[in-house]
Structure 1
Amino acid sequence: MRSCTICGHGLSDVRALRTTCEACQSRITQQLALIEGEWPHLADALEPARGHSGPRVSGTPAWTLPAEQVLNLIGPGGIHSRLYVRYADLAVARGLQPTAMPSGPDARLAVAIRGIRRHLPWAVQAINLRELADEARQCAADLKVALGTAEKEVTVPCPGPDADAPCLGRLRFDRDRNRAYCRTCRIDLDPGEWLEHALKIGYLTA
């Protein structure tokens, strides 16, 4: 039985000849919708006294977000550019020429999201979408953190790949993938392994 290239779950029935399960395809679609809907609010985070898509308002409560954090998302290497690269990858994999990259961040994001949506039905049948899924998830998470809408993330010290290879990173539990992962050493644990480790080191109690 083939497995989903994103979450590893087995594929059966109509998905047996595909690369991506229905749940992971839906998550990518939902994350793109979230990014598209929340993206305009980043401008408000940079100009706290201006109502969303409106004029500057006297006495509006100030945002507490660092400007650098927002600029990292709308700057040259921001969300719009990261997603455009993933769109271009899909187009090239399909043997097509990607739409030229617009210079403006809003237009670039629009091209990227529109292109990913257009190619996604083909891509879930033909190629490994792990990089696209990871990018969409991270972009959505970065956006929620910047706008102050992210849920508190549960992390524990990472055990490392093995006893002889200690790691200084943190294990983060990803509810979407139902896996715990470390960005430092790239270790990946299933929920049972993550819970066992968290209990063993005393970060959780039974």
Structure 2
Amino acid sequence: MWEKNQQPVGNYKIEPLGLFRGLGKHPKMGRVKKRINPEDIIINIGRETQIPKPPEGHHWKEVRHDNKQDERDRQKYEKARKLHRFIDKIRENYQTDWKNKEMRIHQRVVALYFICKLPRHVGKEKYEDETDTVDCCSLRVEHIKLFEKINTIGENVVEFDFLGKDSIRLMTKNLMHKKYGICAQIHQYLFPFE
């Protein structure tokens, strides 16, 4: 139950025993997934909700009543809902800062430009056992090529080539706004952040 509306229980399906397939070049690809038993499962459910019974002869690893994840999701969506009031100011600021010589400011400007103008995810840092997927805030110079002109596309073209979400290779060419131009100087402002 969420805000007086009944919600379906999420993540109730368990992958069967077998080989891990993954997408793209996932580091766990080909490894054997172990069989999941009720003793491995943590149930996170509302206090007022009836706890499902485990199969006969088994018990759950743990039963929790923790709404932290729901609260974090709610806060994230609230922030996104409020963003529309500030989006014009954010765009105005990054357009003003485009020629700023300070490295961190210019890196932020390039990331904001890619997020706003090109449909790119923000991305996040990865742990060692995760696939090296990248996006706007973790792009590196080797993921981008800049072209002053490509006959079939136009002038000021940026080409992306990297593993994106779910380890799926992203290869795309996008036009940049003429106002910002395209030059080797942009390469020196690319990521990762220091």
Structure with the bigger RCO (C-alpha within 8 Å, sep 6+) is 1
Q: Whose radius of gyration is greater, 1 or 2?
A: 2
**Higher strand proportion, which one?**
2
Does the TM-score normalized on the shorter chain lie above 0.5?
no
Q: Say which structure is richer in helix.
A: 1
For Structure 1 versus Structure 2, the TM-score category normalised by the shorter chain is under 0.3
Q: Report the TM-score, using the length of structure 2 for normalisation.
A: 0.23
